[in-house]
């Protein structure tokens, strides 16, 4: 049974609604999702075979990659491709590739130099089991394997080239990696200096931006002047705009890329591709808002990771900046916009509509 830390009063009502709507997700949707996940599991496992890697590396990579997870991104690739009349046998390679990038991002995200987490996908984090060096290298190996697998897609050369560009852009400095940099820079209000210095529009007390009782900027790096992460300028940007930027980059970019990969591999029209991308951008932001909310309310056993870490680390998150209720409403609005974005596909977009709901109603 799912348990929430904030169970009583208005929150109790909210979470009961949250749970009852979750139960309402259609059986056929759950079954379809399960079937797609199963295919992803099988393909991921076989994509690890025969690579000729040193045994400890192979073991560390398999430990994280085959630890479960929702497989959201590869499922999105398969659903988008299907919606554009693509074949699943072509879409499965980009689907696996994006899950590899995602898993690498999680291994690195959990490192002591980043979020310093002990649990992931219901297991000890990679560095806890294999040590930091091998965890870093397992991430590196997954990042590069992703492009090896993508290159093995049995599609025309132009399509493979386009897939590569889409995935690389989303994973790199203008996408996930860049977003992670901004996420760390914003820890304990270190973006972009104190509220007073930056003119940041925030409902939070100044203590939040100063890091409350802990005035240092950033956790693992020296003071602000020497900390390169604190040199990121963000003048004239409100706290919410900056937070949206972080979330869109660190999480939204890869999720939007999943939809685009599905469209590209299926040979979709430009219009179909841009509608799917817009859907992806909306659910991508909604997904990270839901992740932020779950960090406050979620149950460790269901999440497979430790809740409460964002507050411990002084992360800039939706609940911290805007409160739970506003965050939830924002996620709902994004789901609606996502569903509108794919309405031209008609009833065939049903799976994507249900998936968008699942993203904000999930408990893990």
CA distances from 78 to 35, 234, 259 (A): 11, 37, 8
Q: How many helices (H) and strands (E) does the chain have?
A: 19, 2
Taking the complex as a whole, how short is the minimal distance between the CB of residue 286 and ligand IPE, in angstroms?
A: 11
Distance between the two ends of the chain, CA-based, in angstroms?
12
Close Cβ partners of 270 (under 8 Å, ≥ 6 residues apart): none
Determine contact, residues 120/103, Cβ cutoff 8 Å: no
Element (H, E) at 72: helix 72-83
288 is a contact residue toward ligand IPE (CB under 6 A): yes
Taking the complex as a whole, how short is the minimal distance between the CB of residue 90 and ligand IPE, in angstroms?
A: 23
Distance CA 272, CA 285 (A): 20
**Closest CB to ligand IPE among 272 and 327?**
327
Distance CA 305, CA 121 (A): 6
One symbol per residue from 117 to 146: x for binding ligand IPE (CB under 6 A), - otherwise; what is it?
Answer: x---x-------------------------
291 is a contact residue toward ligand IPE (CB under 6 A): yes
Partner that binds at residue 260, options Mg ion, ligand IPE, none, CB closer than 5 to 8 Å by kind: none
Tally the C-alpha atoms within 13 A of residue 315's C-alpha that lie toward its C-beta: 27
101 is a contact residue toward ligand IPE (CB under 6 A): no
Distance CA 170, CA 160 (A): 16
Q: Give contact residues for Mg ion (rule: CB under 5 A).
A: 109, 115, 291, 295
Distance CA 179, CA 202 (A): 20
One symbol per residue from 296 to 335: x for binding ligand IPE (CB under 6 A), - otherwise; what is it?
Answer: ---------x------------------------------
Element (H, E) at 352: helix 350-361
Distance CA 6, CA 43 (A): 39
Determine contact, residues 69/120, Cβ cutoff 8 Å: no
Partner that binds at residue 72, options ligand IPE, Mg ion, none, CB closer than 5 to 8 Å by kind: ligand IPE
Stretch that binds ligand IPE, among 114-122, 156-164, 198-206, 347-355 (CB under 6 A): 114-122
105 is a contact residue toward ligand IPE (CB under 6 A): yes
**Closest CB to ligand IPE among 104 and 217?**
104
Taking the complex as a whole, how short is the minimal distance between the CB of residue 271 and Mg ion, in angstroms?
A: 34
69 is a contact residue toward ligand IPE (CB under 6 A): yes
Taking the complex as a whole, how short is the minimal distance between the CB of residue 356 and ligand IPE, in angstroms?
A: 14
Partner that binds at residue 82, options Mg ion, ligand IPE, none, CB closer than 5 to 8 Å by kind: none
Q: Return the residues of window 181-210 that contact ligand IPE according to CB under 6 A.
A: none
DSSP code at position 186: T
Return phi, psi of residue 121, to 5°. 50, 35
260 is a contact residue toward ligand IPE (CB under 6 A): no
**Closest CB to ligand IPE among 84 and 107?**
107
Close Cβ partners of 115 (under 8 Å, ≥ 6 residues apart): 109, 309, 313
Stretch that binds ligand IPE, among 90-98, 102-110, 128-136, 153-161 (CB under 6 A): 102-110
Out of 72, 100, 282, 339, name the contact with ligand IPE by CB under 6 A.
72
Determine contact, residues 79/260, Cβ cutoff 8 Å: no
Q: Which two tokens stand for residue 291?
A: 């992740």
One symbol per residue from 226 to 255: x for binding ligand IPE (CB under 6 A), - otherwise; what is it?
Answer: ------------------------xx----
**Closest CB to ligand IPE among 156 and 301?**
301
Residues that bind ligand IPE (CB under 6 A): 69-70, 72, 102, 105-106, 109, 115, 117, 121, 176, 180, 250-251, 288, 291, 295, 305
């Amino acid at each position: 049974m799912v348990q929430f830390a904030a169970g009583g009063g208005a929150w109790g009502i909210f979470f009961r609604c949250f749970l009852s709507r979750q139960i309402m997700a259609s059986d056929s949707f759950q079954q379809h999702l399960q079937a797609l996940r199963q295919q992803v599991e099988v393909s991921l496992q076989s994509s690890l075979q025969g690579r000729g890697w040193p045994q400890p590396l192979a073991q560390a990579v398999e430990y994280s990659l085959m630890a479960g997870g929702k497989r959201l991104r590869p499922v999105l690739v398969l659903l988008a491709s299907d919606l554009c009349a693509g074949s699943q046998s072509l879409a499965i390679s980009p689907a696996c590739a994006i899950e590899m990038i995602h898993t690498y991002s999680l291994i690195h995200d959990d490192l002591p130099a980043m979020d310093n987490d002990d649990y992931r996908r219901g297991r000890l984090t990679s560095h806890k089991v294999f040590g930091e060096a091998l965890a870093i290298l397992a991430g590196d190996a997954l990042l590069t394997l992703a492009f090896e697998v993508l290159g093995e897609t049995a599609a025309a050369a132009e399509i493979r080239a386009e897939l590569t560009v889409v995935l690389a852009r989303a994973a790199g400095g203008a996408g996930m990696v860049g977003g992670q940099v901004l996420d760390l820079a914003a820890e304990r209000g270190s973006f972009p200096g104190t509220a007073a210095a930056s003119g940041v529009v925030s409902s939070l007390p100044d203590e939040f931006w100063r890091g409350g009782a802990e005035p240092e900027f950033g956790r693992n790096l020296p003071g602000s002047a020497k900390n390169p992460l604190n040199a990121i300028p963000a003048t004239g940007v409100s706290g919410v705009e900056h937070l949206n930027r972080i979330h869109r980059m660190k999480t939204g970019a890869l999720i939007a890329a999943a939809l685009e990969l599905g469209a590209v591999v299926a040979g979709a029209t430009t219009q179909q591709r841009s509608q799917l991308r817009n859907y992806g951008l909306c659910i991508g932001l909604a997904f990270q808002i839901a992740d932020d909310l779950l960090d406050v309310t979620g149950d460790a056993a269901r999440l497979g990771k430790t809740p409460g870490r964002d507050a411990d680390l002084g992360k800039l998150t939706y609940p911290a900046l805007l409160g739970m209720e506003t965050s939830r409403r924002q996620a709902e609005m994004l789901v609606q916009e996502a569903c509108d974005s794919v309405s031209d596909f008609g009833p065939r977009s049903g799976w994507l509509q249900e998936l968008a709901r699942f993203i904000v109603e999930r408990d893990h």
